[in-house]
A and B are shown apart, each in its own frame.
Chain A
Amino acid sequence: MGKHKNSSSDKSSPKKAKKKKHAESVLSPFRVQQLELVVSLLPNCLSDIQHHISKNVNGLLMKFNEGADGVILSYTNIKFSNGEAVGRILDEQVRRYFSPGYLVFSTILACILRIAYCVLPPQTQAQLLIVKTFKSNSHNSISTINNLRRSLTCTSK
């Protein structure tokens, strides 16, 4: 690991050094790469920005990082991009939080529902539309279906 990092401080001739560096980059799976990151800090972390930025970056270590296309093993030279030393609120839209009242449909077992529309095929399955919105099937024996058919006919009358 360290060998690759020190390769730039080789004291051999520039041509040789270049050749060696190229060979190493082909052979070594390690590389030093500059990465740009956006670190998000909570307001309670702003008292010690440097420390909390380091803490955030430490969380990236030893994991595969898509931006780096590899596993970040260590890092040095942490600094603000473009000399910027101030944090920014990137999403500057105002957010309003409100709690609307919801009407929720949720059936429970053995709940009696009103059937709005019913298709009764001749076989063992009846398709029902509950409260004109929710589809339901009744898989039952022919006698039960017939009972349902009879009761529905009575209701419609």
Chain B
Amino acid sequence: MHFKVTIDALVFRASVGQKLRGKINKCSGSHVGFLVYNLFNGMISAKQLKSSGYAFAGGEWKKDPSTPKAPPLVVGEQLDFHVELFQECAGLISIEGKLPN
């Protein structure tokens, strides 16, 4: 038996270019991983980080001394980023981001 129902749903949908904040939970040479709202997984690739002037050393991403100062990206720190890609696979979502200029 089929029933047509309506619900008022609270939906999360990050759009490209949107500014979000995540908490870093992984720092590696290939990417920085973080959780957005303690719920959704996100990452910034090493390529993006390098283009923003970061370099990987000693388990953390640090800004080059030549460029303006910014806090290093380490596990447990907050990170502001812009959404670059919002992808879904088997009901799970992942956000790819880039650092704001």
Q: Chain B residues with Cβ under 8 A from A75's Cβ? A: 7-10
A77 touches B8 (CB 8 A): yes
Q: Mark B6-21, 1 if CB is under 8 A from A, else 0.
A: 1111111111001110
CA A71 to CA B20, docked complex, whole Å: 16
Of the candidates A1, A57, A84, A88, which one forms a contact with B7 in the assembled complex, judged by CB atoms under 8 Å apart?
A57
0/1 interface trace, chain B 76-101, chain A, CB 8 Å (1 if under):
00000000000010011100000000
Bound: A104/B36 CA distance, A: 55
A113 at the interface (CB under 8 A from B): no
Assess the B3–A80 pair: CB atoms within 8 A: yes
Which of A27, A31, A43 lies in contact with B18, CB distance below 8 A?
Answer: A27
Known: A5-B10, A69-B13. 12 other contacts (CB 8 A): A33-B9, A34-B7, A37-B6, A38-B5, A39-B5, A53-B3, A63-B92, A71-B12, A77-B6, A78-B7, A81-B6, A84-B4
